[in-house]
């Protein structure tokens, strides 16, 4: 064993905690674990464990606790929307993986996440684009997220907004917005179900592919308080229009460390495929200290169940055998080199690669599905009626004693 890697018992001794608490630290992203020699045990980097132990010894005041809370640490607010467990996300107490396997659609999950009860916000047809927005909405030359972020603020002009609107009205607006966003991502007219709209735009008439898109949308619908959901909640807490909260989510999702990781995972597979030796390519990349986009997830140290579900469906689908061999080789090489397994970013990219599609639809699937979650968080936050205004821990130069103090 590498001298820098220590078993769980040693990590517990250094930290002065139980094995259950150690696992909780891993699930919250405070520590990273790797497979041990027998692939059933887990090992930990001594440096990471000792650094965490030092942080514990220094104490945890309010400022320190707040800082850790903003990086997969302590919870910062309450929600009834989703729960993350080792076997995947749960939507209002129901397992997302089981819903995807049972044939649920994104609309089904939206009704659940939005706590619709007997209301069906999707009952009314979505309608066509307003005349002055149609040219922008159907301009296929624009990147999908850019097209959506440009058009959605203009769509808000056609929807009467009131901070006092009741929940059924808000849900009806959300349902229209969910379908409009999906249509913007593929430069089509709004229609439902969302998975068929997307699948027909990318691979018309391919029922197996449509089933994969459906499952991907369900599994991407929400993931607790991730970066984009938090951005959406902050905007929603101000009383802003639902369209504004969606734009905040899309902007956060576009970053390479969030939804943009799908394109990086796609590029990794392409580079590995073009190399003469996939195992060597991946191993050397890892040894150089470069990351493996699409592999590993801080909240799922034993593997992302969403990815496992989609990969099982992809393996059963009638796709190009050569591409699947490449994907399997990359998966095996990445786990051998790093101990990390595929996450949902990799599987979205894999779906596109296996069907001869470019990288862009992977991010579009992510954005179309996650919109249901952003809207759920916005609805919940506005119902609570609280403004999200965290405090910062100032670490700069201290002002003079008689200096003026600025106020918000």
Note the pLDDT tens digit of each residue in 142-193.
999 999 999 999 999 988 766 678 899 999 999 999 999 999 999 999 998 9
Establish if 396 belongs to a structural domain: no
Establish if 174 belongs to a structural domain: yes
Active-site residue, 355 included: no
What is the domain range of residue 215?
A: 97-389
Q: List the CATH number of the domain containing 123.
A: 1.10.580.10
Active-site residue, 161 included: no
Q: What is the mean pLDDT of the chain?
A: 90
pTM: 0.82
- Confidence check: pLDDT of 58 > 80: no
Establish if 243 belongs to a structural domain: yes
Quick one: average pLDDT of 71-95?
84
Our count of domains for the chain comes to 1
Establish if 26 belongs to a structural domain: no
Note the pLDDT tens digit of each residue in 303-346.
999 999 999 999 999 999 999 999 999 999 999 999 999 999 99
Establish if 6 belongs to a structural domain: no
Note the pLDDT tens digit of each residue in 345-372.
999 999 999 999 999 999 999 999 999 9
Active-site residue, 258 included: yes
Establish if 84 belongs to a structural domain: no
Q: How confident is the model at residue 54 (pLDDT cuts 50, 70, 90)?
A: confident
Quick one: average pLDDT of 96-113?
98
- Confidence check: pLDDT of 131 > 60: yes
Establish if 156 belongs to a structural domain: yes
SS (H, E, C) the chain: CCCCEEEHHHHHHHHCCCHHHHHHHHHCCCCCEEECCCCCCEEEEHHHHHHHHHHHHCCCCHHHHHHHHCCCCCCCCCCCCEEEECCEEEECCEEHHHHHHCCCCHHHHHHHHCCCCCCCCCCCCCCCCCCCCHHHHCCCCCCHHHHHHHHHHHHHCCCCCCCCCCHHHHHHHHHHHHHHHHHHHHCCCCCCCHHHHHHHHHCCCCHHHHHHHHHHHHHHCCCCCCHHHHHHHHHHHCCCCHHHHHHHHHHHHCCCCCCCHHHHHHHHHHHHHHCCCHHHHHHHHHHCCCCCCCECCCCCCCCCHHHHHHHHHHHHCCCCHHHHHHHHHHHHHHHHHHCCCECHHHHHHHHHHHCCCCCHHHHHHHHHHHHHHHHHHHHHHHHHCCCCCCCCCCCCCCCCCCCCCCCC
Q: What is the pLDDT of residue 50?
A: 87
Establish if 59 belongs to a structural domain: no
Residue of 258, 304, 355, 377 marked catalytic? 258
């Amino acid at each position: 064993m590498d001298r820098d890697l220590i078993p769980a018992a040693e990590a517990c001794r250094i930290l002065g905690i139980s094995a259950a608490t150690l696992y909780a630290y891993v699930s919250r992203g405070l520590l990273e674990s790797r497979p041990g020699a027998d692939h059933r045990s887990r090992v930990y980097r001594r440096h990471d464990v000792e650094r965490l132990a030092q942080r514990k010894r220094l104490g945890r005041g309010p400022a320190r606790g707040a800082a850790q809370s903003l990086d997969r640490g302590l919870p910062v607010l309450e929600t009834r929307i989703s729960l993350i467990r080792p076997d995947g996300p749960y939507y209002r107490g129901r397992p997302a993986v089981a819903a995807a396997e049972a044939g649920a659609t994104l609309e089904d999950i939206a009704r659940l996440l939005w706590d619709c009860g007997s209301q069906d916000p999707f009952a009314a047809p979505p309608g066509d684009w307003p005349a002055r927005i149609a040219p922008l909405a159907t301009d296929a030359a624009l990147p999908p997220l850019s097209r959506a972020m440009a058009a959605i603020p203009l769509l808000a002009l056609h929807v009467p907004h009131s901070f006092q609107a009741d929940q059924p009205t808000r849900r009806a607006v959300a349902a229209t917005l969910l379908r409009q966003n999906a249509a913007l991502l593929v430069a089509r007219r709004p229609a439902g179900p969302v998975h068929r709209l997307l699948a027909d735009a990318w691979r018309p008439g391919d029922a197996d592919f449509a089933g994969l898109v459906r499952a991907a949308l369900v599994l991407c619908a929400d993931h607790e308080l991730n970066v984009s959901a938090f951005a959406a909640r902050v905007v929603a807490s101000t009383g802003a229009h639902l369209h504004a909260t969606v734009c905040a989510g899309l902007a956060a999702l576009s970053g390479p460390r969030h939804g943009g990781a799908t394109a990086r995972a796609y590029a990794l597979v392409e580079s590995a495929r073009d190399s003469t030796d996939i195992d060597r390519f991946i191993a050397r990349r890892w040894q150089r200290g470069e990351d493996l986009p699409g592999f590993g997830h801080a909240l799922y140290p034993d593997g992302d169940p969403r990815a496992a579900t989609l990969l099982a469906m992809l393996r059963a689908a009638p796709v190009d055998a050569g591409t699947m061999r490449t994907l399997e080789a990359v998966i095996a090489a990445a786990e051998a080199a790093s101990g990390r397994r595929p996450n949902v970013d990799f599987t979205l990219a894999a779906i596109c690669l296996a069907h001869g599609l470019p990288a862009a639809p992977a991010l579009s699937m992510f954005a179309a599905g996650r919109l249901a979650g952003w809207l759920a968080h916005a609805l919940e936050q506005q119902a609570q009626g609280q403004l999200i205004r965290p405090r910062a821990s100032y670490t700069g130069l201290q002002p003079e004693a008689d200096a003026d103090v600025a106020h918000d």
